[in-house]
Amino acid sequence: MTKREQDPDDEEKPHRSPRGDRAGRDKDLAAKEQGEKAKRALPETDHGELVLRTSRGHAWLETAARAERHVLLPRWVQLVPGDVVDVDQQGRVNASVPRRNMLVRQVAMQQQALAANLDRIAVVVAPGALMREGFLNRALCVAAAAGIPPTIIFQKVDLDTDKSMRKRADAYRPIAEVYLTSAKTGEGTKALEKALAGKATAFLGHSGVGKSSLVNAIFPGAKLTTSAVDSWGKGRHTTSLARAIRLGDALLVDLPGIRELGLPSFDDTVKNAVFPDMLVAEATCNADAPACKHNDPASCLVLRAAAKGLVDAERWEAYRAIADSYESALQGGGR
């Protein structure tokens, strides 16, 4: 049978790229999109007005007199609370001050900006089902990747009847500023108010941890909307749009409750900032057993130390989970 007469089913099939090649193409596409956005970036300026919030071609700014005004925003311009921009005589944003930092999270192949020009990131957690250490450690990693100092707020301590959350707070004092607060009783609110003064702070946490209630307790004039937590320990999203709020000489960026927090980076800088104790424990184990996979308590020095209370078991689990998921996401083309 000649080549012309061969069975159509025997003809050479179009080449299908393996999954790895597809991930590579996705990365190239994402890089191209980022490049196109860069070409359309606003010109730089050295002065301007603070961006409080944005929505679909509109922005609300804080003027020099600390009044709020609405301006038009080019649809291709991506601004976030904390940005500083200049406005032309027609009321359109036409330039921006370079960001000194930016809080971002990874969403598939894209980085989503959440806020800019921050002095600190306050990660808020609460007792019970809302005490999610995986999220807490991821948030600390996001802060480290952005180069922004972290603060951890263990909120609703009035509900911490078994004192378990207070005990967990001690594990984080070596790596972050820690506050124990209760919007209901007022515990810790004065100390936190003093820490927030004169600073730009983004509040980050799951819905239901009491971010809005805490802000209202510290700054009664804020009048943020709050809601109750359901029987599953989940809260409703009372904040649907990121916004910056001027409260005295403090600037608070109220972020919507975030359920997924993809890491933009998990390099040595991030690991050293968030998991210095875990790196020491891992290095000790690797020196004893270079091929250790840290999954056998009989031979792994880390797991044996964790069983004896010499290594924080919950933070070790968080560290390994974050490292594994980050590596898997990289191999799959996302984070």
- Residues in CB range of 91: below 8 A, 6 or more apart: 71, 72
Q: What share of the chain is helix, strand, coil (3-state, %, to 5)?
A: 35, 20, 45
Residue among 67, 74, 42, 36 nearest 52 (CA): 67
Residue among 164, 166, 168 nearest 188 (CA): 166
Q: At what angle do helices 164-172 and 313-332 cross, to 10 degrees?
A: 70
Q: Which CATH superfamily is domain 102-254 in?
A: P-loop containing nucleotide triphosphate hydrolases (3.40.50.300)
pLDDT of residue 146: 96
Pseudo-torsion of CA 23, 25, 27, 31, nearest 10°? -170
pLDDT of residue 258: 74
pLDDT of residue 7: 47
> Tokens standing for 63?
């003027």
Enter the pTM of the model.
0.82
In total, the chain counts a number of residues equal to 335
Q: In whole angstroms, what separates CA 43 from the centre of its chain?
A: 27
pLDDT of residue 129: 84
Residue 68 β-bridge partners: 62
- Residues in CB range of 182: below 8 A, 6 or more apart: 155, 156, 157, 158, 188, 189
Spans of all domains in the chain: 49-96, 102-254, 275-332
Residue among 131, 121, 102 nearest 206 (CA): 131
Bridge pairing between strands 93-96 and 110-116? unpaired
Task: Please report, in angstroms and rounded to a whole number, the separation of the first and last CA atoms in the chain.
Answer: 51
Pick 49-96's CATH classification: 3.30.70, 2.40.50, 3.40.50, 1.10.1240.
2.40.50
Residue ranges in the chain whose pLDDT is less than 50: 2-17, 229-240
pLDDT of residue 188: 96
Condensed to tens digits (0 to 9), the pLDDT of residues 288-329 reads 999 999 999 999 999 999 999 999 999 999 999 999 988 887
